[in-house]
Amino acid sequence: MGIIKISDDVHDDVRRASQVMSRSINAQAEFWIKIGRLAERHPTMSFSEIIQMELDKADAAEAHDSAEQVVA
């Protein structure tokens, strides 16, 4: 775990968004960082497409975990 310095304005934006989204301030900042990183890696994808891609990955991981439990 590390500490990053952000401006007071950005911190205020994160705090407000975290309240609206029912996330901790850290979880909201991590979400924005993750989505921003994915947007840079996939510049032609929309926000909705990025979210769908992440949901698809989560579904695939869940299916894989369920299959492993059946085998075990």
Domain assignment of residue 2, yes or no: no
54 and 38 Cβ atoms separated by less than 8 Å: yes
Pair (34, 49) in one structural domain: no
Q: What is the DSSP string of 27-58?
A: HHHHHHHHHHHHHHHSTTS-HHHHHHHHHHHH
pLDDT tens per residue, range 15-72: 999 999 999 999 999 999 999 999 999 999 999 999 999 999 999 998 888 777 776 6
Average pLDDT over residues 7-21: 98
Query: pTM of this prediction?
Result: 0.79
Predicted local confidence at residue 66, as pLDDT: 78
Predicted local confidence at residue 65, as pLDDT: 82
Predicted local confidence at residue 71, as pLDDT: 67
Pair (19, 37) in one structural domain: yes
Predicted local confidence at residue 69, as pLDDT: 77
Domain assignment of residue 3, yes or no: no
Measured CA to CA, the distance from residue 10 to residue 33 in angstroms comes to 12
Q: Is the dihedral of CA 38, 44, 46, 49 positive or negative?
A: negative
| In the block, residue with structure tokens 């993750």 | 34
Range of the domain at 72: 45-72
